[in-house]
Amino acid sequence: MNRSWKSFVLIFDGGSRGNPGPSYGSYIIQGPEGKTKPIRLRFGRGTNNEAEYRTLIAGIEAVLSMMDQLGIDPGETELEIRGDSKLVICQLSGQWKAKDARMRALRDESRRLLEPFGSVRFRQHPRARSVALLGH
C-alpha cells in the first residue's frame, strides 16, 4: 500500500430471526480517526444473506460519508472489508457467482459503491470474531 494512502476497515455482520424473518445487522468502521462504536441496524423481513449485504451496503455508505466529512479522496484510500459471510465475501471478490436475482442485485449495488476506492480487499473471518466485535 502507498504510505500516503488512508486506510479504512469495515467489519460487518447481518442476520435474521428465522430465514427469512426479521433481519438486522451491525458494522464498525476503523479509520484514521479511530474506531466507531458498533452501528446497529434493523431491516424488514429478509434472509440472513440479504441482511449481510444490506449491512455491508450501509457500512460502505457510512465510510464514504465519513471520508467526505474528513475531506479524504476515496481514490487515495484502501478499504478492507471483513465479515464472516463466505457467500458475500466470495461473491464480491468474484470467486462465486450470484445465481439468485436478489443476491445479484445486492452484490452489484455493493460493487457500485466500492468503485471510487483506490483499493479494496476482502477478508473472511470466523463467526466468533463477528460475535466478539459486534455482539451477534
Q: Write the CATH number for 97.
A: 3.30.420.10
Burial class (CB in 10 A: 0-12, 13-18, 19+), 25: buried
Q: What is the pTM of this model?
A: 0.94
What's the domain count of the chain?
Answer: 1
Quote the pLDDT of residue 2: 46
- Give the separation between CA 28 and CA 136, rounded to whole angstroms: 13
Q: Mean pLDDT per 10-residue run, the chain (136 residues)?
A: 74 95 97 89 96 98 95 95 97 94 96 97 94 86
Quote the pLDDT of residue 127: 92
Quote the pLDDT of residue 1: 44
Q: Please provide residue 115's backbone torsions phi and psi, each rounded to the nearest 5 degrees.
A: -55, -40
12 C-beta neighbours (distance < 10 Å), count:
30
Domain residue limits at 108: 6-134
Q: Is 45 within the bounds of a domain? A: yes
Quote the pLDDT of residue 32: 83
Q: Is 48 within the bounds of a domain? A: yes
**Segment 123-132, tens digit of pLDDT:** 999 999 998 9
Quote the pLDDT of residue 4: 57
Quote the pLDDT of residue 33: 81
Q: Is 68 within the bounds of a domain? A: yes
